[in-house]
Amino acid sequence: MAQEFPFVLNVIGPDAVPDAFAAALPAKRGAFITLSPQRAFDWPFDGDPAETLAAARTIAAAHNWDVNVVAAANRRKQLLIADMDSTIITVECLDEIADMMGLKPQVAAITERAMRGEIAFEPALRERVALLKGLAVHRLSRVYAERVRLTPGAKPLVATMKANGATTLLVSGGFTFFTQRVAADAGFDDHQANVLLDDGTRLLGTVEEPILGREAKLRALNGAIAENHLDPACTLAVGDGANDLAMIERAGLGVAFHAKPVVAEAAAARIDHNHLDALLYLQGYSEPEIVRT
């Protein structure tokens, strides 16, 4: 199938109708394949992928449908590397910590600029962490318990890929206090993040150097590729902010998830409307194959 039809139009969304996209596809195309009834389908084709994608997204613009074109070969990835804040979880942990000190507006404004790529990540992180100086360490547990929630679809994404032999890695410009807990909750094999420094009782307002940012996330991906002896084409990276761009552009399938414009424009694929299990449909998984617990 991949040789005859090297590309797949993948459509995800409520009541997505295959017939609506017939005009967007070139003449040489196969039969559409239902992945989830009335929610997701594939349509294999041979033709210009950029032209097909542009035409299909024009059709989908009036609906909450995510439309992408992916290569038919190597669809099921053997490595998942994922950002945490606003990707695997629904919040930005640093902003929520700041809220405990009544500083969320100031900190969130810096976070937004950094995620949009308007300012460098590392100095922005140092600036925000400095504002947290003096916060009692035990209050981090309250942030986790009260504010941190997994994004819908996170558990099925990780569980399904692991059930099919993939390695899963959570990488974050946030903090290990949260990544170790989120990784356990979502089922990731491993995690990497920054370390908040404290005196045993209160935060010092500093973070352990060097900071894990954009280039460190790329190194994490390259390290996982080497350690697992993978073809880069067999990897999937997902994130929402500018510090995720390097790993998203390097991965075989780089996905911008509800992302900032600079990320959405650069990524090979984007999910703007659906949950994280959409990344399984992008890989060609059908509903009966998805592990939902």
Active-site residues, by number, are 83, 85
Angle between helices 104-115 and 121-130 (to 10 degrees): 170
Q: What are phi and psi of 204, to 5 degrees?
A: -90, -10
Q: Which of 48, 142, 157, 154 is nearest to 97 (CA)?
A: 142
Helices and strands in the chain, H and E counts: 11, 12
Sheet holding 167-175, edge to edge: 190-194, 167-175, 79-82, 235-239, 253-257, 269-271
Do the strands 33-36 and 40-45 form a parallel or antiparallel pair, or are they unpaired? antiparallel
Residue position matching structure tokens 């994922």:
82
Q: Would you say 162 and 189 are in contact if contact means Cβ atoms under 8 Å apart?
A: yes
Who contacts 42 (Cβ-Cβ below 8 Å, separation ≥6)?
A: 8, 9, 10, 32, 33, 35, 284
Q: Which of 276, 90, 97, 258 is nearest to 175 (CA)?
A: 97
Residue 200: other Cβ atoms inside 10 A? 5
Q: Which two tokens mark 33?
A: 């394949």
Q: Would you say 253 and 77 are in contact if contact means Cβ atoms under 8 Å apart?
A: yes
Q: Which two tokens mark 101?
A: 């000190």
Q: CA torsion sign, 250 to 123 to 241 to 186?
A: positive
